[in-house]
Structures are given as C-alpha cells and as structure tokens.
Amino acid sequence: MAQIIDGKLISAQIKEELKEKVSKMKSLGVEVTLAVIQVGADPASSVYVRNKKKACEFIGIRSLSYELPEGTSQEELLDLINKLNERADVNGILVQLPLPSHMEEEKILDAISPLKDVDGFHPQNVGALCIGKQGFVSCTPAGVIQLLKRSGIEIAGKECVVIGRSNIVGKPMALLLLRENGTVTVTHSRTKELKAVTSRADILVVAVGKPRMITEDYVKEGAVVIDVGIHRDSEGHLCGDVDYESVAPKCSAITPVPGGVGPMTIAMLMNNCVESVKLQG
C-alpha cells in the first residue's frame, strides 16, 4: 500500500509553526506585511487572492489589498510597485497572475524588488537558487521539497526525474532536488522515450500540465510520485497530471489531487513572507 502524502496536514503544520514565529516576532515589535495586487476581476484569481489573505489572517501577517480595475495601465501598476518597493513597512509584494493582456508580465515581475519578491519569480532570486545563494524560492517546488522531507523521504543520492521545465515549477524543482543532492533529470515535450526515462525515477515529480497523462507504465515499482498538476475533468472533479488509480498501487508514496501539492503553495508563500523579514534585515 502506497503512503499517501497528506499535503493538507503538512501545510497546516507549517502554518501553525509560522503562526508561532509571527507571534514571537510581534512580541519583539516586528510586524510582517504582504501587499497583494490584483488587476481585473478574473474569478479564479479572486479565489486565489482571497485564500492568500485568509492564510495571512490565520498566521498573523498583515495583508494590504490592491484591487485595480482591468483597464489600469502598465505605468500605473509599475508606479504602485515602485511605491511598495520603497515602503519600509511592506515586506512582501505579490502580483496575482495572469495579468490582463495589455501588460507585459515579465516587466511587471522584474519591477518587484528581489528582496520583496515572495513568489520567487525575479531573475535575481532564480539566479540565487541556481548558484546556491540565499533568496526566495518559487512556492510550489519549495512545497514539494517540504512534502518529501516531512514524509521522511530521503532525496540525497536518489534518481529524481522532473516532467516539465517551466520557470515556475519544473526548472526550480530540478534545482531544489539538486540542492538536496538528488541525481536529477529534467524532461519536456521534446524528450525521447519519456517512459524509459521516467521509469528510472526513485522520485518522479510530474508538472506536465496534462490531465491524468502519467499512467502506471511511466512509473517504476516502489517509486515516490509527486503530482503537481491540477485540472477539473469533464465531470467537474479535480484531478492531477497523474492517473492516480493506476499509479498509486505501484508506488511507495504518492500525493493525491486535491490535498497533495496544492495546499503547500500558499503555506510556502506564507513562509517566504516570514523569511522576508530576515532577508531584509
């Protein structure tokens, strides 16, 4: 029977730990503040923003909310980011994606001070991760590392295969596994013989963005499988990039969807907010 890695439980533990840390910081007169910017009223984005604000409230992080109309110009948004960059009482700045099509996402994200970039998307933070320096790490892959560590799964020396090479999941995931001394292979849409490569994995992290694509024939007996994907199928049920039903019996451990990687992303965002105070120190 595969161990089911409980992301809900682990994220709740992390949030409790952060709550305690924040309360100690408050008693020393230190307040943590996150500025959350949303442009437009995309319903999915509104749900994400609401959940982030709720998590802040639970932990004791002050959140400042900027809900800008869809028609906001890029200059106006850059102006707000610059003001928040300069404010000593703001530790973290988060711009909810996607942005409206008239905005250049890269330009906006690059404008956030690397010291306040709690999403870990700024090139300076990505570079820091690459060469092993301190900085913010993208929340979802950081959450995967926590899931593995807190489930007692050793990474060092293991054959780790990541499916996907996006800037926010696949690439930082590979770098983090490498930092933990895994032997890492990154696969993508041009990989030949994908099944042969993934079947070597002791730890398989799937961030391919295709519902239930990874079936049992991609997975080695006894592997640990982490499913980053999240989709709603034709019947309205949530599912991942992994075909859970066929893969789970073959694994030593697996994350479910929902309740696996998903809840970790916000927990790690909150962790980055708390860490920002140290980085800015």
CA distance 177 to 173: 6
CA 241 to chain centre: 16
C-beta of 26: minimal distance to ligand NDP in Å? Answer: 28
246 touches ligand NDP by CB under 6 A: no
**Which CB, 72 or 125, lies closer to ligand NDP?**
125
The count of residues interacting with ligand NDP (CB under 6 A) is 25
205 binds ligand NDP (CB under 6 A): no
Q: Kindly state the smallest distance separating residue 54's Cβ from ligand NDP, in Å.
A: 16
- Is residue 176 a contact partner of residue 149, using CB atoms and an 8 Å limit? no
Binding positions for ligand NDP, 132-161, rule CB under 6 A: 140
Per-residue binding string, ligand NDP, 89-128, x by CB under 6 A, is ----------------------------------------
Contacts of 249 (CB under 8 A, 6+ apart): 2, 216
Determine contact, residues 240/231, Cβ cutoff 8 Å. Answer: yes
Task: Find, among 158, 164, 172, the residue nearest to 265 by Cα.
Answer: 172
83 catalytic residue (yes or no): no
Rg of the chain, C-alpha, whole Å: 19
- Is 170 near ligand NDP (CB under 6 A)? yes
Q: Please classify residue 106 by burial: count the beta carbons closer than 10 Å to its beta carbon, then call 0-12 exposed, 13-18 middle and 19+ buried.
A: exposed
From the list 50-58, 63-71, 111-119, 226-234, the region that binds ligand NDP by CB under 6 A is 226-234
Q: Does 190 bind ligand NDP (CB under 6 A)?
A: yes
Counting Cβ atoms within 10 Å, is residue 151 exposed (0-12), middle (13-18) or buried (19+)? middle
DSSP labels, 91-151: -EEEEPSSPPTTS-HHHHHHHS-TTT-TT--SHHHHHHHHTT-S----HHHHHHHHHHHHT
Q: Which of 111, 163, 239, 274 binds ligand NDP (CB under 6 A)?
A: 163
Termini Cα distance of the chain: 47
The one catalytic residue among 6, 15, 38, 96: 96
Could you say which of 52, 158, 171, 220 is catalytic? 52
* Rounded least distance, CB 31 to ligand NDP, Å: 27
Q: Among 85-93, 115-123, 217-225, 260-268, which window interacts with ligand NDP (CB under 6 A)?
A: 260-268
Partner residues linked to 35 by β-bridges: 64, 93
Cβ closest to ligand NDP, residue 79 vs residue 245: 245
203 part of the interface to ligand NDP, by CB under 6 A: no
List residues with catalytic annotation: 52, 96, 119
Sites of contact with ligand NDP (CB under 6 A): 140, 163-166, 168-170, 187-191, 194, 207-210, 228-230, 241, 261-262, 265
